A and B are shown apart, each in its own frame.
Chain A
Amino acid sequence: MTPELKARFDQITQSHPIVLFMKGNALFPQCGFSARALSLLQPHGEVFTVDVLADPEVRQGIKDYTNWPTIPQIFIRGQFIGGSDILTELAERGELADLVAGKPPA
């Protein structure tokens, strides 16, 4: 990954409390997993979305950046949280609000 792209990811993930790299955008999600991730996050605050379909470099780059193979990818308070399975599990356990509030895991 180029230093420019890494700097861009650093900048995006650190400038918004909740960031979702997804297929499509908030109005028109292009995949069920992205749509579900969005709906799980929205109750916890404003979600800044990045459409990976708009830029092949971003689509591959975000996977290299996190060393995680799938999209969507979620960042909260600058920290990589995981994909839609992890997000679903965190929501079911009621731990999402803690993450948004900056509470560390047990």
Chain B
Amino acid sequence: MLDADFIRSRILEALPGSEVEVRDTTGTGDHFEARVISPDFAGKMMVQQHKLVYAPLQTWLQTGELHALALKTYSPEQWKKLGNR
């Protein structure tokens, strides 16, 4: 069983300087959703952004301890453009 803070820390290690929010969607410690805003995402396709977030979590995705992680990813520019700042 994982927790949101653990997942958040792994993402932050891989993408320093990003803004990360993680939520346990089912309360069972294996289904999460995350919102990540990172300067590293600028100019990248969404699929590349997602791969950057999944990368530090491969171990737990492969064992199935982390069953699902729904992602919303934004470059700071995309986040601003969507009217969030």
Contact = CB atoms under 8 A, between A and B. Distances in A.
Classify chain A: how many residues form its interface, as a range.
10 to 19
Contacts of B51: 67
Contact of B77 (A80, A82, A89, A106): A106
Interface in B64-85: 70-72, 75, 77-78, 81-82
A67 B43 CA distance: 20
A67 B47 CA distance: 11
Nearest to B61: A69
B21 to A, nearest CB: 16
Interface in B29-56: 42-47, 50-51
Contacts of A10: none
Nearest to A66: B47
Classify chain B: how many residues form its interface, as a range.
10 to 19
Contacts of A86: 46-47, 50
Contacts of A80: 47
Interface in A52-80: 67-68, 79-80
A100 interface: no
A81 B45 CA distance: 7
A46 interface: no
A89 B46 contact: yes
B78 A105 contact: yes
Contacts of B46: 81-82, 86, 89-90, 105
Contact of A93 (B42, B50, B77, B82): B82
Contacts of A106: 42-43, 75, 77-78, 81
Interface of B: 42-47, 50-51, 70-72, 75, 77-78, 81-82
